[in-house]
Amino acid sequence: MKNEERVMKIKITAIVLSVLGIVTLAGCAAATTNTSSEAAAAKEETLFQASTINSLLAGNYDGFMTFGELKQHGDVGIGTFNALDGELVMIDNTVYKVKASGAVEEVPDTDTTPFAAVTYFDEDATKSLGPTASLEALEQELDKMITDPKAFYVFRIDGTFNTIKARSVPSQIKPYPVLSEAVKNQSIFDYQKISGTLVGLWCPADIGGLNVKGYHFHFIADDRSKGGHLLDVSFDSATAFVDQTDGFFMTLSPSTPEGTVTDADSAIDAVEK
């Protein structure tokens, strides 16, 4: 990376963090004063993000960060792949791709992502969940685990689910369409009585433009044969683990999207549901 590009990224990140009122422990100045143990702790308490949701909404699907690089910043997360080729689930430091065909494959470190958010999962709280009839009901229950509206929360929910409704999208061809157009060709998967894990992220309202405000979940089956972006869910019981993360660090994509999005909130609603 050229020096001027690196400086620009650092400046933009600093501005973003200032606007959000979020304290970051990742930075050049901090690195000169922190001990190695403090630096490691800071890294574990940081949500690392590649690119912005607005860039993805506008059709910027060019992968620019390898998964080998991404794994240096976390072991759990969600995102997508170069050319929007499927739904990304990172769990236990392994990246899985849920393709539009429904097939799931482990992804090599050399593949790339245009958008992802990851952290080193460090469980802060656990909650046993009772009968839950919908994704909306699940989110209402998880709201009780969110104690700081300015922090980020990464969820891992393990269970045997009565129903899972998920989706994936096919690889796109240039010139890339905006995301709301791309998902019109999505594949919908309906699973019953399936054991697996929901990997999810909750972002504060101030994150608008950078990531999805509120909840965003992906699913992966225990046998790693099924998964996708979560649209709905029901279960009798499950266990939720949450990692509250106060730090945020983002690196921008070097590509410029060809499309434009004038109403990001409406565009997110269109692609998330």
Residues 6+ apart with CB under 8 A from 80: 56, 61, 86, 87, 88, 113, 114, 115, 116
What CA–CA distance (Å, rounded) separates 169 from 45? 31
Band (21; pLDDT cuts 50, 70, 90): very low
pLDDT at residue 259, rounded to an integer: 81
* Per-residue pLDDT, 208: 85
CATH code that applies to domain 3-119: 3.30.1330.80
Does residue 270 have a pLDDT over 90? no
Residue ranges, comma separated, of all CATH 3.30.1330.80 domains in the chain are 3-119, 125-245
Higher pLDDT: 12 or 82? It is: 82
Cα atoms found within 13 Å of the Cα of residue 42, Cβ hemisphere only: 17
Nearest Cα to 76, choosing from 202, 243, 260?
243
Indicate the pTM of the whole model. 0.85
Give residue-wise pLDDT tens across range 183-230. Answer: 999 999 999 999 999 999 999 999 989 999 999 999 999 999 999 999
More confident residue, 156 or 39: 156
Q: Which residue has the tokens 């059709």?
A: 59
- Tell me the CATH number for domain 125-245: 3.30.1330.80
Token pair recorded at residue 224: 């790693």
Whole-number Å distance between alpha carbons of 67 and 77? 12
Up-side HSE of residue 158: CA atoms within 13 Å toward CB?
A: 7
